[in-house]
Amino acid sequence: MTNSYDRYNVVVRLLTPMHIGNGRLLLNEYDYAIRQGHTWRINEAEFLDAHYAEDPKIIEQLEQTPPAQLLNPTDFVNGSKLFRYVMKGIPRSNGVGAQLREQIKSTLSDSPYLPGTALKGGLRTALAWHGWMTENLQTKTPELERKREFAGQRFENQLFGPTPNKNLMRALIVSDSDEVSSTQLMVANVRVVTAGGLQGAPIEIEAIRPETTFRLTVKIDRALFSDWARSSGLKLQHEDWLTELASITHTHSKDRISAEAAWFKNARNATTPASVYNELAQSATKASPTQCLMQLGWGTGWGSKTFGSRLQSNDNFMEHIINSYRLARGRRHIGDDFPKSRRITMNYQRDTRGNITESAAYPLGWAWVSFKKVN
């Protein structure tokens, strides 16, 4: 069989900070040090070599002292082997053992990358949102599964196929991106905020800086839609959705941007994120047929999940989902907005007395995605 793949070179350019975690929590003064407005990731192997000792008393001291407290001011220089990488920005919490969520990156080089699964998941969500309308799915309670993690599986099976082997997404192959330099890392401080201005506990994360560009490959396996495939019992539907991937995704993102712009417009002390969403809405009108806006990674909220706003078209059905799967946190009354909060990066300043002033900054994970067909 001749080459059956449509291949696309894809460029993802971040507009706001993006975090995709690896599940590890870094601890202040053990895994990283704070100095000069930067966060310095300690190189454990080099640190141990530099502090090698055979004297039991010195060994005991090393075991009881956080590594950062054994560093000298002269150690904090660019290029020092004592540090794996250095990030602009510092966590809001600076106590010993304060936690910082680590960004996924290469285990060999500490270089960040965009996992193909993250991009494919975002594309899948957009296709499901699109398919709900084109296939005229209905919000029917009997269609829901009991377990929360599988709640919408029957709807998804109707759209994509009943089994992994007969699933539309089998035909969409997304690579991991090329790695980028660790200099593209930053520290971002995040809070959960409500429209009334109430804030949750701070969450400190490693993130990828805006204007970072990732390059990767997307392939569509056209053989899975061929006569050969159908004669073998494989009858995948909706090949046209993959052909229109960029435009479908962009339409979904415009719907999300409109909803988020309205939410932040009415939220207290949210001038900056409201402005960001207004700018996104304006730039969305300039997309070419091979471009789309997307929100990727952690902190994108319930609205970015599969089906999202489609479920909210039926108030009773939505209330059933919220109650059955215990989606709401805290006190809630029937008819209250859902979700009632957003994750947002925060700008903060600390005065000479240690008092902190905070303001809402940027939503997480927005990017321009460009597709260029190469065969």
HEC profile of 254-268? HHHHHHHHHHHHCCC
Determine the Cα–Cα distance for residues 105 and 85; give it in Å rounded to an integer.
Answer: 12
Q: Quick one: pLDDT at residue 58? A: 62
Determine the Cα–Cα distance for residues 132 and 193; give it in Å rounded to an integer.
Answer: 30
**Cα-Cα-Cα-Cα dihedral sign, residues 363, 17, 78, 99:** positive
> 372: Cβ–Cβ under 8 A, 6 or more apart, which residues?
8, 9, 10, 11, 290
Q: Quick one: pLDDT at residue 265? A: 93
Residue type, 219: K
Q: Quick one: pLDDT at residue 53? A: 61
Residues 222 and 27: beta-carbon distance below 8 Å: no
**Is pTM beyond 0.85 here?**
yes
Spell out the alpha helix ranges (H) of the chain. Answer: 44-50, 56-64, 116-134, 153-160, 227-231, 239-243, 245-265, 271-284, 315-324
Residue type, 103: Q
Residues 280 and 264: beta-carbon distance below 8 Å: no
Q: Quick one: pLDDT at residue 145? A: 67
- Per run of 10 residues, the mean pLDDT along the chain (length 375 residues) is 84 98 96 96 89 67 84 93 96 93 94 98 95 85 68 85 93 98 97 86 96 98 93 92 97 95 92 96 95 96 80 79 76 78 89 80 97 91
Determine the Cα–Cα distance for residues 120 and 218; give it in Å rounded to an integer.
Answer: 9
Q: Quick one: pLDDT at residue 39? A: 98
